[in-house]
Chain A
């Protein structure tokens, strides 16, 4: 089955700096890669996703990149703000209607 690895497990950045979280996956059939943000005491929130026919996607301060050949994808957050502090999960699936396999999570702390 699919295996998703995520690094780093914790990340501290100064407010205004950029943060990068990296994930690798094992199943070449996976073609949908969502990213979730989970704040304390809440359920995961879908913040951005990318499909295999796209190499990069941006939404304001957030961008994702995908390298299907190398089987890795990354989340980039620019101009970080304290409200970006949360746990971020990457995930992979063949389609959203099929099993979504999650990475181990990255706890991001943005220091004011």
Chain B
């Protein structure tokens, strides 16, 4: 399976600021996804990162708050904009490898104060 890395692994940010999270894969993949995992909760899909076109957002998530870039088949970024304490979560990228399987990166642990 693909090896996925995320930067930063964790961060503590001030309210009102923005943080950009990077996701790097060691091989070209068709599909990349961004998830949020609030403390002690399950995973919720934020958006599908499409290479060469705008991301596809799930209900409840908007581009102004979570802009996503996918410049090529191995890299994507998620920005959490104008942060509030409610944005404190683990942010995970995943990749579609093959027809069905999705594999996850280690996550970025964000705390907003």
Contacts and interface: CB of A to CB of B under 8 A. Distances in A.
Interface of A: 32, 34, 36, 42-46, 49, 51, 89, 93, 95-97, 99-100, 102-105
Contact of B31 (A32, A46, A97): A97
Interface string B13-35: 00000000000000000110000
Interface string B72-107: 000000000000000000001000101111111111
Interface of B: 1, 4, 30-31, 41-45, 58, 92, 96, 98-107
B59 to A, nearest CB: 8
A99 B45 contact: yes
A36 B102 CA distance: 10
B2 to A, nearest CB: 11
Contacts of A100: 45, 102
Contacts of B100: 32, 34, 49, 51, 93, 95-97
A95 B42 CA distance: 20
Most buried by B among A42, A100, A104: A100
A44 B43 contact: yes
A51 B4 CA distance: 25
Contacts of B1: 46
Contact of A34 (B4, B58, B99, B101): B101
